[in-house]
Amino acid sequence: MSARVVLVTGGTYGIGRAASLAFAAQGDRVHTFGLSEEDTRAVMELAEQAGNKVSATTLDITDDEGVRRTVQNIIDLEGRIDVLVNNAAARPTGTMETTTAAEWDTAFNVNIRGMFITTQAVLPQMLAQKKGSIVNVSSGSGYGKPGLLAYSASKGAVFAFTNCLALDHAAQGIRANTVVPGFTKTGMTEGFPEKVMAMGGKMSVAGRVNKPEEVAQAIIWLASEQASIVSGTVIEAGTLPR
């Protein structure tokens, strides 16, 4: 199989970085962007150390024009985009009483608007190719979790967003699926107390906190030809039935 062109948002840390490196390891041409210049350099260096290559750009997912411009630059360079992984996320905490309007906007601007803008920029190229795979990363919090009102609401919206993509574009060769990571060691959780991490680990069939590399494998499979008949589905990666 010839190398595919893959774009991963929020691909310079945590699950996104693991996915970027995993795609690169199998020979795909990987492009990604993230907020931190330090993380941007780090993911490129990690890929290089493994004998692979990841092209990373420092970019805020809420910069609509920046996202559109970056996507177009990738298309101009590569001539195509085969896989889009929407992974960039923000996790404000709070209840209805404590969540501010700014925190609500942050959650939806990053977790949903960023996903919308990026997908809208990529989709015309996929339609022209008559083929493409979109994998959106949600969260177990998308089903509702205490103290995470804005984050949960925005991640819940990912399910409907993905299903609409799958239904609207199935006849045009576009697949869209959702991955729901269980309690995973990422930038969002690495500062949690050990007691909280241990409790989170009990929610996984593995009996421990998930590794980003394990969640990345679910993303890799959904984007692969082995999943060519799969669209509009949800893969729970490291969670137990509710």
Helix ranges (H only) for 14-56 are: 14-25, 37-49
- Residue ranges per structural domain of the chain: 5-237
Which residue is catalytic, options 33, 108, 151, 183? Answer: 151
- Tokens standing for 159? 């399910």
In this prediction, residue 200 carries a pLDDT of 65
Alpha-carbon distance values, 12 to 46, 82, 231 (Å)? 10, 19, 26
Count other C-beta atoms under 10 Å from residue 143's C-beta.
Answer: 14
Whether pTM exceeds 0.85: yes
In this prediction, residue 204 carries a pLDDT of 73
151 belongs to the catalytic site: yes
Count other C-beta atoms under 10 Å from residue 82's C-beta.
Answer: 21
- Tokens standing for 17? 């970085």
Question: Sheet of 5-9: strands edge to edge?
Answer: 54-58, 29-34, 5-9, 83-86, 132-137, 174-181, 234-237
Per-residue pLDDT of the chain (242 residues; tens, 9 = 90+): 579 999 999 999 999 999 999 999 999 999 999 999 999 999 999 999 999 999 999 999 999 999 999 999 999 999 999 999 999 999 999 999 999 999 999 999 999 999 999 999 999 999 999 999 999 999 888 888 899 999 999 999 999 999 999 999 999 999 999 999 877 667 665 666 666 666 666 677 777 778 899 999 999 999 999 999 999 999 998 776 66
Gyration radius of the chain over CA positions: 17
In this prediction, residue 41 carries a pLDDT of 97
CATH of domain 5-237: 3.40.50.720
- Tokens standing for 169? 């574009």
